[in-house]
């Protein structure tokens, strides 16, 4: 697929709706560098916005209807201004733009009365690379532009996207995805202290690379496993008498965990140690200690595998293969888990040929090749001018 451009999006918008859009916005996907499920537990996380995007073009629609079209789709989806219920079935992707539109009102912002929207993406959906947050943020920027409010600060933009996902899509996610997509910068990781939340940036090491190996296994947070983990963590925090699990240090947990059912005790141990690993990773990045960063990434995966239990045999096998490769610093599942992709941090010497070797060894066992992507840390959501 050729990479969409502002011009190609405008052309497609025009052929869909008969006139040009007023705005084209673009928001990146993200990798979760480290900090697995720490965000809604009051912890820290490091993410990177990536050079794969969702584009949204929009124009006001004077009839007050909401019209949506996704490139590659069959037909324009036309909705009344307030369909009332959540959309199910093949059109359920419409809950994201619709949720954003509704959230504008919840945030005291102006809403366009009606709009035409065109969506295109080169971000693999369901890989755990946050196509949902990218769609939310690109939609939010485009709709805000239509009502002259596109100067909304990045932290509000991220909060708006998260609100849409929590309230109107129904996933109790934290701020990682929307925060990283909003605050991304080329050559940088985004550090989020999710309690505030507060956002900062850490330079991505010049001599390291990000690779994604997408298992193409189904990864759908809305299916309920994500919500189950979320509830286990919040219940554990309550039983331990803290607001968030990240309030505890690894040294404080051992006597307390006897108060928890075994599954919750494992989830709590993962979150508390993972929060500490994010801190250690940020420090190791600052010192330029890439070997330590790599070890922390792989340790994070093993904790997801054995304690948080949100990995799969396919993800584990990819990490096993990558861990043995001399040019791989570390590897871990990225995002919600239960399918999706593994992220690897590699040395300069890791080549396409090495990636293909990993893919071959993986497919010998799983029967299908993973999708491989060499990614760059990219800029955050913006209006395309
Ligand atoms: C998904 C959620 C995020 C975060 C990660 C796991 O990507 O949307 O908020 O919880 O899973 O770290």
Q: Whose CA is nearest to atom 11 of ligand 1?
A: 336
The answer to whether the CB of 139 falls within 8 A of the CB of 96 is yes
Assess whether 171 and 43 both reside in one domain: yes
Assess whether 39 and 173 both reside in one domain: yes
299: containing domain: 209-375
Alpha-carbon span 38 to 8, nearest angstrom: 39
Alpha-carbon span 376 to 136, nearest angstrom: 21
Instruction: Please report the sign of the dihedral spanned by the C-alpha atoms of residue 28, residue 33, residue 38, residue 42.
Output: negative
Angle between helical axes of 262-287 and 225-240 (0-180°, round to 10): 90
Domain end residue (candidates: 203, 232, 250): 203
* DSSP code string of 215-266: ------GGGTHHHHHHHHHHHHHHHHT-SSGGGS-TTTHHHHGGGS-HHHHH
- Work out which ligand 1 atom sits closest to the CA atom of 176: 9
Q: Give me ligand 1 centre to Cα 52, in Å.
A: 18
Q: Give me ligand 1 centre to Cα 16, in Å.
A: 34
The stretch 86-93 carries a mean pLDDT of: 87
Residue 381 lies in a domain: no
The answer to whether the CB of 162 falls within 8 A of the CB of 39 is no
pLDDT digits (tens, 9 = 90+) for 253-265: 999 899 999 999 9
Alpha-carbon span 65 to 262, nearest angstrom: 51
User: 112 φ, ψ to 5°?
Assistant: -65, 140
Q: What is the pLDDT of residue 26?
A: 98
The answer to whether the CB of 287 falls within 8 A of the CB of 327 is no
Assess whether 232 and 164 both reside in one domain: no
Number of domains comprising the chain: 2
Q: Whose CA is nearest to atom 2 of ligand 1?
A: 173
Domain CATH number, residue 45: 3.30.230.10
pLDDT digits (tens, 9 = 90+) for 173-225: 999 999 999 999 999 999 999 999 999 999 999 999 999 999 988 765 556 89
The answer to whether the CB of 338 falls within 8 A of the CB of 201 is no
Tokens of 205: 């090491």
Q: Collect all residues with Cβ–Cβ distance below 8 Å to 324 and sequence separation of at least 6.
A: none
Residues above pLDDT 90, as percent of the chain: 88
pLDDT digits (tens, 9 = 90+) for 41-60: 999 999 999 999 999 999 99
Assess whether 15 and 105 both reside in one domain: yes
Length of the chain: 385
Assess whether 121 and 178 both reside in one domain: yes
Among 51, 177, 257, 354, the active-site one is 177
Chain-wide mean pLDDT for the chain?
95
pLDDT at residue 240 greater than cutoff 80:
yes
Q: Give me ligand 1 centre to Cα 171, in Å.
A: 10
Assess whether 279 and 341 both reside in one domain: yes
Assess whether 95 and 216 both reside in one domain: no
Assess whether 125 and 221 both reside in one domain: no
Instruction: Please report the sign of the dihedral spanned by the C-alpha atoms of residue 247, residue 304, residue 281, residue 334.
Output: negative
Domain end residue (candidates: 203, 235, 262): 203
The stretch 19-35 carries a mean pLDDT of: 98
Q: For ligand 1, which residues put their CB under 6 angstroms from it? A: 32, 36-37, 39-40, 173-174, 176-177, 335-336
Closest-CA residue to 301 (of 327, 319, 278): 319
Residue 318 lies in a domain: yes
pLDDT at residue 276 greater than cutoff 90:
yes
Residue 384 lies in a domain: no
Q: pLDDT band at 367, cuts 50/70/90? A: confident
User: 224 φ, ψ to 5°?
Assistant: 115, -25
Assess whether 321 and 349 both reside in one domain: yes
Domain CATH number, residue 278: 3.30.70.890
- Work out which ligand 1 atom sits closest to the CA atom of 38: 12
Give residue for tokens 């963590």.
233
Domain end residue (candidates: 161, 185, 203): 203
Assess whether 17 and 159 both reside in one domain: yes
Assess whether 102 and 65 both reside in one domain: yes
Alpha-carbon span 368 to 215, nearest angstrom: 9
Assess whether 310 and 230 both reside in one domain: yes
pTM metric for this prediction: 0.96
Q: Collect all residues with Cβ–Cβ distance below 8 Å to 108 and sequence separation of at least 6.
A: none
Q: Give me ligand 1 centre to Cα 152, in Å.
A: 24
Q: Whose CA is nearest to atom 4 of ligand 1?
A: 37
Q: Whose CA is nearest to atom 8 of ligand 1?
A: 173
Q: Is residue 138 exposed (0-12), middle (13-18) or buried (19+ Cβ within 10 Å)?
A: buried
82 is catalytic: no
């Amino acid at each position: 697929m050729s990479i969409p451009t502002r011009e190609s999006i405008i052309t497609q918008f025009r052929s869909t709706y008969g006139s040009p859009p007023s705005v084209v916005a673009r928001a990146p996907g993200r990798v979760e560098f480290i900090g697995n499920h720490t965000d809604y537990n009051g912890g820290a996380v490091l993410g990177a916005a990536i050079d794969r995007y969702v584009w949204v073009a929009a124009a006001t629609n004077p009839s007050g209807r909401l019209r949506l079209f996704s490139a590659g789709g069959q037909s324009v989806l036309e909705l009344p201004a307030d369909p009332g219920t959540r959309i199910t079935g093949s059109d359920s992707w419409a809950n994201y733009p619709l949720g954003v539109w509704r959230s504008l009102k919840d945030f005291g912002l102006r809403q366009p009365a009606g709009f035409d929207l065109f969506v295109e993406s080169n971000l693999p959906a369901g890989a755990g690379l946050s196509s949902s947050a990218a769609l939310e943020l690109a939609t939010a920027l485009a709709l805000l532009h239509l009502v002259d409010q596109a100067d909304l600060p990045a932290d509000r933009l991220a909060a708006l996207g998260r609100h849409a996902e929590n309230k109107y899509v129904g996933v109790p996610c934290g701020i990682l995805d929307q925060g990283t997509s909003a605050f991304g910068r080329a050559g940088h990781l985004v550090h989020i202290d999710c309690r505030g939340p507060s956002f900062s940036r850490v330079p991505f090491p010049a001599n390291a690379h990000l690779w994604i190996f997408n298992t193409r296994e189904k990864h759908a947070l809305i299916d309920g496993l994500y919500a189950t983990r979320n509830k286990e963590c919040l219940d554990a925090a309550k039983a331990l008498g803290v607001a968030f699990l990240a309030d505890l240090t690894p040294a404080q947990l051992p006597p307390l965990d006897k108060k928890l059912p075994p599954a919750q005790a494992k989830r709590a141990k993962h979150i508390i140690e993972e929060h500490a690993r994010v801190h250690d990773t940020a420090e190791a990045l600052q010192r330029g200690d890439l070997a330590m960063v790599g070890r922390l990434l792989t340790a994070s995966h093993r904790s997801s595998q054995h304690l948080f239990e949100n990995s799969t045999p396919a993800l584990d096998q990819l990490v096993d293969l990558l861990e043995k490769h001399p040019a791989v610093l570390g590897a871990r599942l990225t995002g919600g888990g239960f399918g999706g992709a593994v992220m690897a941090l590699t040395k300069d010497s890791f080549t396409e040929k090495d990636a293909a070797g990993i893919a071959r060894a993986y497919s010998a066992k799983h029967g299908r090749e993973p999708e491989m992507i060499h990614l760059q840390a990219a800029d955050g959501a913006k209006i395309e001018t």
